[in-house]
Structure 1
Amino acid sequence: MADYYINVILDEGKKATINAAGLADKIVTIDGKEAIQVEMSRKEQKKLVKGFSDLSFDDSNACQLPPEAEDTLLGVIAEMQTLDVMKLAIMKLYNPLAGKAPRAAMR
């Protein structure tokens, strides 16, 4: 069992992407909506919280990514045809230098 989850609520387009990836059997119902749950470790969760400061987790340790990040995650899922994608997806979602000013050139 994973430490944390990313819930991706599916609309028709996202559902088609999941079906095309052969993952229709991974669709679950969350709060009456169709969704997929992507598992992640504590370490990956910490990186996401650093990258998305407004990310919040519910009682089941699940969150929803901002739309742009969710689209990136779905792209990785479609390409790899599995929900076990966080090791690769975290590299595309987490930018440790985001929001930091570039260092001045050494003199």
Structure 2
Amino acid sequence: MNNYHINIVLNDKVMPIIENIGLSDHIVDIQSTKIIPIEMSSKDHKKLMKAFCDLTFDENNACVLPKEKNEILINLIIQSQSIDIMKTAIMKLYNPLAGRDIFGRGTGCR
């Protein structure tokens, strides 16, 4: 099974908050950038690939989301005070009905 990760990029404003809630041991320094790697399943990986068609994964099966989506994940971590956020994150990041007509298939409202 492939292990996929989202690398959540932390800025100077968020670092003290992450440290205060006790998650500083999850912070990793990669090329002078502070990140928190969040594991996700292959099912979550497929959903993200559908939601973000230009998302690229590196040789370690890790990706970085666009800035506004990265901030959503940071807020989820701060609210839950945990890095186990993928179930909630997928609901906020992936909208399978985005762009579909309100009178979609099976509605009977034709």
**TM-score by structure 1 length?**
0.88
The percentage of counterpart residues that share the same residue type is: 47
Aligned to 1:106: 109
Q: Which runs of 4+ in 1 moved over 6 A?
A: none
The aligned runs of 1:1-107 (5 Å cut-off) are 3-103=3-103, 106-107=109-110
In structure 1, give the amino acid aligned to 2:44.
Answer: E
Q: In the aligned structure 2, how far is the partner of 1:9 from the partner of 1:106?
A: 44
- Shifted more, 58-67 versus 14-23: the winner is 14-23
Considering only CA atoms, is the larger Rg found in Structure 1 or Structure 2?
Answer: 2
**TM-score by structure 2 length?**
0.86
Matched-pair contact (CA < 8 Å) for 1:2–1:39:
no
Q: Structure 1's 89 and 18: CA in aligned 2 closer, same or farther, altered over 3 A?
A: same
What is the CA RMSD across the aligned residues, in angstroms?
A: 1.9
Shift of 1:9: 2.0
Shift of 1:33: 1.8
Unaligned runs of 5+ in 2: none
